[in-house]
Structure 1
């Protein structure tokens, strides 16, 4: 069950999330339906297809950009991600370091 607000993950560092190609892909031939990704992902990216008895990427835009935790947890190597260089290139292209610096300064002022 997805409990996240639809707008909660709409942007990453001020970049609309739909412009960022970052989410897991599941190789159905390798997936054994253990549910580790479904039950462990804090962003509720996955659902479980009861008919197929396999995980599915139901909410790809909720995946935290750069996160690959589910790929690490999958003992069947069924989960993969795009090359991290895509994220690094996006950071440079979109000026995301400036946004991150501003966010850091705001956090430091709160403490």
Structure 2
């Protein structure tokens, strides 16, 4: 991901990626199956499948599709207006 930009700002300076409410997440893996950008991965721990982040900066800026797929409504994203402000401040 290094060197990539979005709207002129370095991608690593844009905090657009999902936040998971682990108290709601049932580790079903629907988000990992759906996301083609390897943001999530399923791992096995203590004989149970668990969801983890693989590379949160692979998340496409302003995409929220995984949140729509989540049956537990456990995935949220930052405020779009705040992200746009950060993008403007970090344009190169």
- Fold agreement, TM-score > 0.5: yes
Structure 2 gap segments, 5+ residues each? none
Structure number, greater radius of gyration = 1
Please state if 1:37 is matched with 2:34.
Answer: no
CA RMSD, 1 decimal: 2.2
Residue 64 of structure 2 corresponds to 68
Moved over 3 A (4+): 90-95
Give yes or no for contact 1:37–1:55 (8 Å, CA) kept in 2.
no
* Structure with higher strand content: 2
Structure 1 gap segments, 5+ residues each? 1-5, 96-111
C-alpha distance in structure 1 between counterparts of 2:87 and 2:4, whole Å: 17
Q: How many residues align?
A: 90
C-alpha distance in structure 2 between counterparts of 1:50 and 1:42, whole Å: 20
TM-score with structure 1 length normalisation?
0.68
The higher relative CO (CA closer than 8 Å, separation ≥ 6) is in: 2
TM-score with structure 2 length normalisation?
0.80
